[in-house]
Amino acid sequence: MEIVNSAKEIQEYLQNTRRELHENPEISNKESKTSEIILRELEKFGNFNIRKNVNGNGIIAELIGAKEGKTIALRADMDALQIEEETGVSFESKNKGVMHACGHDNHMTMVLGAAYLLSKRKDELSGKVRFIFQPAEELSPNGGAKGMIKEGALDGVDAIFSMHVWPDLPLGKVGIKEGPLMAASDHFTVTIKGKPSHAAKPNEGIDALVTGAQYVTAVQTIVSRN
């Protein structure tokens, strides 16, 4: 329970950090202020080997324990969504049309909290802990992960962990499962070729607009029917 109690002791700090991140949301590949906040906090903690500007605004901070061991990574995403915040909270977004509506402000705060707690226990650690702050997670289908991996974010890592906040779970509960979890997204293009005709002779043409509307309606049922 020692580390749990230590976490409770920094609850106010974590709350304030999360709110600062929430106030300053930035879209994919524009996370410069977000990166500054994270770097500022990591430098306060000390004990880290820090790489910044990884694949843009990404950050990698490594904590080396006093003993030999494996390398474990903890990862958080950084970017926000193009949504206008209308919550009315005191720490509402200062950036018009941008909001942390997907919880990335929470994710960054959790990894910063872990970094703080583990940095105070460096002498007890076996191996290394790598803290990865990834930009452009929302930039489907090719977000910031590939670029960070290409720049060595996972080199030598034995296992990596991440966590996503989820409002459907009661406070204090953690949901886990074997295999893939959450949704994946991809982009594709569909071309519908129409054929013009006189309004008096619609049978001689192909109405691409009506065809497209029917297509959207039909495709939407694929997942729900399978």
For 121-154, the DSSP string reads TGGG-EEEEEEEEES-TTSSSS-HHHHHHHTTTT
Whether 169 is in a domain gets the answer: no
* CA-based nearest residue to 45, from 121, 128, 108: 121
193 and 93, same structural domain?
no
Domain hosting 20: range is: 2-161
Whether 156 is in a domain gets the answer: yes
Provide the pLDDT for residue 16.
98
90 and 202, same structural domain?
no
150 and 59, same structural domain?
yes
- Over its length of 226 residues, how does the chain's per-residue pLDDT go in tens digits? 688 899 999 999 999 999 999 999 999 999 999 999 999 999 999 889 999 999 999 999 999 999 999 999 999 999 999 999 999 999 999 999 999 999 999 999 999 999 999 999 999 999 999 999 999 999 977 889 999 999 999 999 999 999 999 999 998 899 998 888 877 777 889 999 999 999 999 999 999 999 999 999 999 999 888 8
153 and 196, same structural domain?
no
127 and 41, same structural domain?
yes
Whether 122 is in a domain gets the answer: yes
Answering whether pTM is above 0.85, one says: yes
Provide the pLDDT for residue 181.
81
Provide the pLDDT for residue 184.
75
Amino acid 71 reads: T
Whether 184 is in a domain gets the answer: no
In this structure, what CATH number is given to the domain that contains residue 128? Answer: 3.40.630.10
156 and 106, same structural domain?
yes
28 and 126, same structural domain?
yes
Whether 121 is in a domain gets the answer: yes
203 and 151, same structural domain?
no
216 and 130, same structural domain?
no
Provide the pLDDT for residue 224.
86
Give the number of domains in the chain: 2
Whether 217 is in a domain gets the answer: yes
20 and 123, same structural domain?
yes
Provide the pLDDT for residue 53.
97
Whether 181 is in a domain gets the answer: no
Query: Which region holds residue 117: left if phi is over 0, alpha if psi is between -120 and 50, else beta?
Result: alpha
Provide the pLDDT for residue 83.
97
Whether 16 is in a domain gets the answer: yes
CB count in 10 Å sphere of residue 101: 17
